[in-house]
Chains A and B, each alone.
Chain A
Amino acid sequence: MDQATLRFAIQLGIIGLTFFMLINASALLVLAERKIMGFMQQRYGPYLVGPHGLLQPLADILKLLFKEELRPKGADKWLFTLAPIVSVTAAFAAFAAVPWGGETTFFGLLDTPVKLGVADVNVAVLVVFAVTSMGVYGIVLAGWSSNSKYSLLGGLRSSAQMISYELAYATALASVIMLAGSLSLRSVVDAQAGYWFGFIPRWYVFLQPLGFIIYAIAGVAETNRAPFDFPEAEQELVAGYNTEYSSVRFALFPQAEYINMTTMAAVATDLYLGGWHGIPLLDRYGLGWMFFLAKVGIILFAYIWVRWTVPRYRYDQLMQFGWKWLFPAAVLNLIATAAFILYFNA
């Protein structure tokens, strides 16, 4: 095999691996969620299927596959089918611009190193932002097309919430982009290589602690997770936007949610936690992706941890918090960062 073919094959392999990992991430997160919830409530969680309940997600998916697909009589046929597809497609597509490892030649197999990640886009931050914001259509359409009041309320809440929190989210992103001077996630990560005083990694979380907190909060709201899970607040809306869904169509919504969580965690790692940088030994052998995975795992654990410890807000509190606290804080952070950059570069 010549180099070009080999390169093409490896690139395809990386894309396939990313896709496979994302599917597994959603399955494993379902299990992790139930296990961690169990431990936090002093229960075992699922433990019967497979060792320690490891095969539980498989059983869940099989169960959902064999369920009957229902569609309410008054539902809009096309949009009802389209909604979960939009949700899950946006979730997968957003990860395409997220790099998850440095460059590697696969132990000398290739002449020139290949970059770990699906696509290296020079406006990656914007791509992720744009594609994840497409995900809201899935939820809104699901809510509207079901022709049910609970679903409609869930969809409406979701669109209002996502528009409100996207602002703070984007403003927090802008501060990091200014620091790195690039919209490419790979450049942002590479700008965080190395150490201050020889031992503190040059991660942006140390320069942007407020930005990181804002990003994390807005990220939870963007993915509709507790304590901001209003689109599906079960005490008020039965199950929110997905009330009328069943079988595989229903399964696609939580899958999209878990993939979105993974993307959010991966982007947070790239932007604030130095991506795959931080352990010199791993960096040298091109194994930084291991550290990357570990960081993403820790953020995802925190995500689940928050869900089972913090009670849900009230809807007006959510809006108050988003517009009166989070967004002004993000703007302040942006101005402070700009001043910081001007002062130290001038």
Chain B
Amino acid sequence: MPDTLLFYVFSAVAIGASLLVIGQRNPMYSIMLLITSFGALSALYIQLDAPFVAMAQIIVYAGAIMVLFLFVVMLLNAPQEDAAQWDRTHPLRRPGVSRFGAMLAALLTVQLVWALLRVTDAGAAVGGRGDVAEISSVRSVGRVLFTDYVFAFEATSVLILVAMVGAVVLAAREEKR
């Protein structure tokens, strides 16, 4: 019973925080709320007997990526998204673009509802596959990562390396001679 209660508490926190991320105008608050949402999500992972995924979520998203976000927002010093200065001529705010966005959102909603309807019978299938804690343990995650998915894993690393080199090249100023 306490498990179910905790599940609802963390889900509520995750959903509420995520809604508030887009619902209020201060980007600093958005970042803090997003971190809250990540925290609640990782609590849900722990409830699913996947502590490794939960900690990876915190270390990678809340610990590294969000610090970077925070860094950028602090440097840009943009405390308010000012509603009065809404620029209708901005290419991203033309009516056609907005309609396209609305369409995407509707599509996503339909997809989510469809997925949620399917999830009830898929849950039983996962439970039948054996010990969840065993599947999600660090050892088995590592083994799968370096055997079955080794190409995807290495390709991703190369991709990230390329992005890093690109960032360095773009950011590096020419040496003055």
Contacts and interface: CB of A to CB of B under 8 A. Distances in A.
Contact of A134 (B52, B58, B71): B58
For chain B, the bracket of interface size reads: 20 to 34
Contacts of B52: 123, 126, 183
Interface of B: 28-29, 32, 35, 51-52, 55-56, 58-59, 62-64, 67-68, 70-71, 74-75, 79, 138
B88 to A, nearest CB: 30
A136 B67 contact: yes
Nearest to A155: B74
Interface string A156-181: 10011011001000000000000000
A292 interface: no
B55 A126 contact: yes
Interface secondary structure of A, over-half rule: helix
Contacts of A82: 32
Contacts of A130: 55, 58-59, 62-63
B70 A129 contact: no
Interface residues of A, number: 30
Contacts of A122: 51
Given A123-B52, A123-B55, A137-B35, A144 B74 contact: yes
Nearest to A74: B79
B76 to A, nearest CB: 12
A137 B55 contact: no
Contact of B71 (A131, A159, A183): A159
A89 to B, nearest CB: 12
A78 B52 CA distance: 32
Nearest to A123: B51
B138 A129 contact: no
B32 A133 contact: no
29 contacts: A76-B28, A79-B29, A82-B32, A122-B51, A123-B52, A126-B51, A126-B55, A126-B56, A126-B59, A127-B55, A129-B55, A133-B64, A136-B63, A136-B67, A137-B35, A137-B70, A140-B67, A140-B70, A140-B74, A141-B32, A144-B74, A152-B74, A155-B74, A156-B71, A156-B74, A156-B75, A159-B67, A160-B71, A166-B64
A82 B29 CA distance: 11
Contacts of B28: 76, 79, 141, 144-145
A121 interface: yes
A164 B58 CA distance: 18
Contacts of A78: 29
Interface of A: 76, 78-79, 82, 121-123, 126-127, 129-131, 133-134, 136-137, 140-141, 143-145, 152, 155-156, 159-160, 162-163, 166, 183
Contacts of A162: 67
A129 B57 CA distance: 12
A143 B28 CA distance: 12
B53 to A, nearest CB: 10
